C-alpha cells in the first residue's frame, strides 16, 4: 500500500492556525510535479493545487468547521483531490477550466454562431457555488443536487430543465476543447430531463387570444410587434426567426407570399436548410417595410432583448396568466393545424420537428373530429340490433 504524504504544518487545523497569515500559500509536494497549497487567511484558509505553473483553488480548509468532503475539506481529502486535479492536467500548462469559465466560453461561442446569449446569461444567474467547481472533477451527485436546489428555491421543473440544458451545452463545449475532461457522463446522466417538465409550457391558446397578444405586442413597440407577429403566424422558434435575412421574404406573388424559414440547429445535424412557409399578405407587407433599405443578407428582424419579459405583462393584462411565454404561440400554431386536419407529416415539416415529436406531445389533438367520426360509425346500435337469423356464423364467413 502506497504511503500517504504527510505535512506536519498542514495536516491538522491546530498547526495550520499557527502559521502566519499571508498571500503566498504554504505548499507540500504530494506527487511528482504536484503540490497541495494552503493559503492562511484571517478567516478559514483555502486549499489549492499547484501544477505545471498554474494554481487552482478548489475548497475551504476545515479550520473552523467540520469537513464535508466537498466545499470544506481536511488535509487528507484535499490531498487526494489535488492529485486528481493535478494529474488531469499533466502535460498541459493550461489551468483546468471551472464551470463559470466554461459558461463564459459558451457565451462567446453563441455570439460567433449568432445564437442567443441568454442561454449563457440565464444559467450564469443560477450557478451559485457550482461556478468555482472544476469541470473535469464534476460528479453526478453535485450536478443532480444543483438542479434539485433550483427547484427547491422556487424554479418550476420546466425552468430548471431549461437552465440545466444550457449548462450541459456549456460543459459539453468545454469537454470538446479540452481532452482532459473525461467525465461527460456526469452531466449527461445527472441532468436528464425531469419527468413532466414540459407540461407547464404546452399552453394552447385559442385564436382570439393569439390575435389579442399580437395586437398587444405592437403597443410595446413596432419591432417587438413584428417579432411576435412572425412567431404567431409561422409557429417558428425565436432562434429561427432571428436568422431570417432580408431576401428570405418572397413576395413576387402578392397573393401568396412566403418566408424561407431557416431550420433550427437542434439535434445532431448542424446543417442549415430553408423551408418555404406560407404567410398572409398582411404580414408580408409589414416585413417588406422591415426589409426596406437593407442589403439582401442583412438580418430581417433584429434581436429583441428580454422577449419573454416583455410578453408576460401583455398576457397578464389580457387575463391569460403571467406564466405564458412566446413559446405558447408555437404550440398553438401546431394545434391549430392539427385541428384543421393538416396531415401530421406536413405539420411536423412546417414547424421543423419530427412526426414522432408531434405524436408524443400533441396526440390528443391528432385524434380530433375526423377520428371521432370514423370510430363512432363502428359503435353498435343496440336499439336496432340484428336478429339472430341475420347473423352469419363466423365459421361460414371464414370459409
**Which range marks the domain in which residue 322 is found?**
207-372
Query: Which pLDDT does position 134 carry in this prediction?
Result: 85
Q: Quick: pLDDT tens for 192-221.
A: 888 755 554 578 899 999 999 999 999 999
27 & 151 share domain: no
The answer, yes or no, to whether residue 66 has pLDDT greater than 60, is: yes
231 & 366 share domain: yes
Please indicate, yes or no, if residue 145 is contained in any of the structural domains: yes
80 & 108 share domain: no
Q: At what angle do helices 99-112 and 157-177 cross, to 10 degrees?
A: 90
33 & 123 share domain: no
Instruction: Decide: pTM greater than 0.75.
Output: no
Number of domains within the chain: 3
Where residue 1 falls among pLDDT bands split at 50, 70, 90?
A: very low
Query: Which pLDDT does position 380 carry in this prediction?
Result: 79
Query: Which pLDDT does position 326 carry in this prediction?
Result: 93
CB-facing half-sphere around the CA of 116: CA atoms within 13 A: 20
Please check whether residue 223 is in contact with residue 302, taking contact to mean a CB–CB distance below 8 angstroms.
Answer: yes
The answer, yes or no, to whether residue 40 has pLDDT greater than 90, is: yes
Q: Quick: pLDDT tens for 71-89.
A: 899 999 999 888 887 776 5
Query: CA-to-CA distance for 186 and 190, rounded, in angstroms?
Result: 6
Q: Region 135-142: what's the mean pLDDT?
A: 88
Amino acid at each position: 500500500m502506497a504511503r500517504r504524504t504527510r505535512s506536519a504544518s498542514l495536516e491538522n487545523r491546530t498547526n495550520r492556525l499557527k502559521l502566519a497569515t499571508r498571500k503566498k500559500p504554504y505548499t507540500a509536494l504530494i506527487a511528482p510535479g504536484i503540490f497541495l497549497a494552503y493559503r492562511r487567511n484571517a478567516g478559514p484558509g483555502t486549499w489549492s493545487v499547484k501544477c505545471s505553473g498554474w494554481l487552482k483553488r478548489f475548497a475551504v480548509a476545515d479550520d473552523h468547521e467540520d469537513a464535508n468532503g466537498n466545499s470544506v475539506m481536511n488535509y487528507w481529502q484535499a490531498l487526494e483531490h489535488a492529485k486528481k486535479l493535478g494529474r488531469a492536467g499533466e502535460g498541459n500548462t493550461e489551468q483546468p477550466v471551472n464551470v463559470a469559465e466554461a459558461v463564459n466560453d459558451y457565451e462567446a461561442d453563441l455570439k460567433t454562431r449568432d445564437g442567443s446569449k441568454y442561454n449563457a446569461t440565464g444559467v450564469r444567474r443560477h450557478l451559485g457555488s457550482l461556478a468555482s467547481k472544476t469541470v473535469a472533477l464534476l460528479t453526478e451527485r453535485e450536478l443532480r443536487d444543483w438542479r434539485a436546489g433550483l427547484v427547491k428555491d422556487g424554479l418550476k421543473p420546466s425552468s430548471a430543465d431549461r437552465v440545466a440544458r444550457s449548462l450541459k451545452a456549456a460543459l459539453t463545449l468545454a469537454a470538446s476543447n479540452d481532452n482532459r475532461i473525461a467525465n461527460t457522463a456526469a452531466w449527461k446522466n445527472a441532468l436528464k430531463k425531469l419527468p413532466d417538465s414540459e407540461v407547464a409550457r404546452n399552453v394552447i391558446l385559442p385564436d382570439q387570444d393569439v390575435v389579442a397578444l399580437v395586437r398587444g405586442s405592437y403597443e410595446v413597440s413596432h419591432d417587438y410587434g413584428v417579432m411576435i407577429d412572425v412567431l404567431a403566424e409561422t409557429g417558428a422558434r425565436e432562434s429561427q426567426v432571428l436568422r431570417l435575412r432580408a431576401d428570405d421574404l418572397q413576395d413576387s406573388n402578392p397573393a401568396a407570399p412566403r418566408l424561407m424559414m431557416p431550420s433550427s440547429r437542434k439535434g445532431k445535424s448542424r446543417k442549415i436548410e430553408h423551408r418555404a412557409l406560407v404567410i398572409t399578405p398582411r404580414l408580408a407587407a409589414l416585413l417588406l417595410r422591415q426589409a426596406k433599405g437593407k442589403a439582401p443578407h442583412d438580418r430581417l428582424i433584429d434581436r429583441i432583448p428580454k422577449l419573454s419579459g416583455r410578453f408576460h405583462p401583455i398576457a397578464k393584462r389580457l387575463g391569460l396568466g403571467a406564466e405564458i411565454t412566446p413559446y405558447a404561440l408555437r404550440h398553438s400554431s401546431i394545434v391549430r393545424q392539427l385541428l384543421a386536419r393538416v396531415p401530421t407529416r406536413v405539420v411536423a415539416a412546417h414547424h421543423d420537428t419530427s412526426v414522432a415529436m408531434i405524436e408524443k406531445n400533441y396526440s390528443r389533438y391528432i385524434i380530433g373530429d375526423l377520428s371521432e367520426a370514423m370510430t363512432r360509425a363502428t359503435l353498435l346500435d343496440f336499439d336496432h340490433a340484428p336478429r339472430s337469423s341475420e347473423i352469419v356464423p363466423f365459421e361460414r364467413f371464414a370459409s
